[in-house]
Amino acid sequence: MNQENMPLVTAVIPVYNHEKYVAECIRSILNQTYRNIELIVLNDGSKDRSHEMILPLVEECKRRFIRFEYINRENIGLSATLNQALAWARGEYFSALASDDVALPEKIEVLVDALEAKGPTYAAAFGNAWIIDDAGQRIRLDYHERISENADGGTHADIMGHYTRGRKINYKGEEFGTYSTLIAGNYLPAMSNMVRTNAIREAGGWTPGNMVEDVEMWLKLSKTFKFLYVDQPVALYRWHQSNSMKVFTGKLRCAALVLLAKEKDFCLEHGLKKIWQDQYAGILFSLLRDKTVPFSRKISAIEIAESWVILSGFMRRVVKKMLIASHLHTS
């Protein structure tokens, strides 16, 4: 690809407590084949040695990138951090990468090339990603998200296979990234994304404090734009014990329930009532069964999400029984 006139890409690395991985993550952007990149690294109040691991790379980043910024500050949360990066961005494209993941060398080149070929009706492009362990070795995950050495149909070494397990969705076709498939459960690989910056701005950016910021953004964009799937791995997704989806499971369920409640009217207006109901009920009952979530937080999430209004009389009685059981367990 002739890159002389290629658009500027804003690469963003939000950092939080990833001292073991952040240098490798930054270096994966340094090693991109695509040249026209600006990079912003934001250390969101890490309590470990992430800051010390970033400092030795600052001068190299200043030499390599069109623009470079390193911000080290107190914690404000991921959504607010992404909004800060969005305000700084000058690139036509925006790509955020978690500080424990790795971009393969051709990620930006491949995804920008694909979006340039498709045109402005496509807001984002996603590639696949290999799954790696704490040490950077490629692994397979089974249906229960356990590391497995069995190379059969029940395990996956790639993130798209893992995310879509058990779902009847043709993610290599026109279904990819449609609102109707996303409202039934997110499967877009955040580590493999490239998004048009103006599309994010038109969507209003991210909601501060929302812990399911990626799901919210994909739902916003899918109402107006198409998404493109590029069928090749462009990143490495690191599977380890401090993944936010493991550490903050209960909080994520609460946030997902509230987000889904906000989507109710849009779903009803577009003939997606059954899909919405199934997903809402699934998240609600997963939250109620989650013994790690305090009783008060369950009540708060249910009230914010207006579950009492949404549920039928029978379902309300079921929920109340589960709440009583939850309260007895945690009290």
CATH at 85:
3.90.550.10
- Provide the 3-class DSSP secondary structure of residue 81: helix
Examine the pLDDT at 121 and tell me if it is beyond 50: yes
Is residue 206 situated within a structural domain?
yes
Least confident of 132-136, 140-144, 175-179, 267-271: 140-144
> Which of 212, 229, 246 is the last residue before a domain boundary?
246
> Which of 201, 216, 246 is the last residue before a domain boundary?
246
Residues 205 and 257 in one domain: no
In terms of C-beta density within 10 A (0-12 exposed, 13-18 middle, 19 or more buried), how is residue 288 classed?
A: buried
Residues 286 and 237 in one domain: no
Examine the pLDDT at 260 and tell me if it is beyond 90: yes
Are residues 13 and 39 in contact, defined by beta-carbon separation less than 8 angstroms? yes
How close are the terminal C-alpha atoms of the chain, in Å? 62
Domains: count for the chain = 2
> Which of 246, 278, 297 is the last residue before a domain boundary?
246
Is residue 181 situated within a structural domain?
yes
Least confident of 80-84, 182-186, 257-261: 257-261
Backbone conformation region of residue 104, classed left if phi is above 0, alpha if psi is from -120 to 50, else beta: beta
Is residue 141 situated within a structural domain?
yes
Cα 328 to Cα 294, 297, 318: the distances in Å are 11, 15, 16
Is residue 4 situated within a structural domain?
no
Is residue 2 situated within a structural domain?
no
> Is beta strand 93-96 parallel, antiparallel or unpaired with respect to 67-73?
unpaired
pTM, entire model: 0.89
Residues 84 and 221 in one domain: yes
Are residues 8 and 90 in contact, defined by beta-carbon separation less than 8 angstroms? yes
234 φ/ψ angles, rounded to the nearest 5 degrees = -125, 0
Where does the pLDDT of residue 210 fall: very low under 50, low under 70, confident under 90, or very high at 90 and above?
Answer: very high
Query: Residue 28 is which amino acid?
Result: S
Least confident of 72-81, 212-221, 315-324: 315-324
Is residue 3 situated within a structural domain?
no
Is residue 239 situated within a structural domain?
yes
Torsion of CA 20, 24, 29, 32, to 10 degrees: -160
d(Cα 33, Cα 126) in Å, to the nearest integer? 17
Residues 166 and 312 in one domain: no
Tell me what pLDDT residue 311 has: 66
Task: Give Cα 69 to chain centroid, integer Å.
Answer: 23
Residues 220 and 319 in one domain: no
Residues 152 and 290 in one domain: no
Domain span at residue 52 reads 9-246
Are residues 228 and 126 in contact, defined by beta-carbon separation less than 8 angstroms? yes
Examine the pLDDT at 248 and tell me if it is beyond 70: no
Residues 228 and 86 in one domain: yes
Cα 152 to Cα 55, 161, 166, 236: the distances in Å are 43, 12, 15, 21
Residues 238 and 253 in one domain: no
Tell me what pLDDT residue 166 has: 87
Residues 79 and 102 in one domain: yes
Residues 72 and 47 in one domain: yes
Is residue 152 situated within a structural domain?
yes
d(Cα 330, Cα 149) in Å, to the nearest integer? 37
Residues 238 and 277 in one domain: no
Residues 179 and 265 in one domain: no
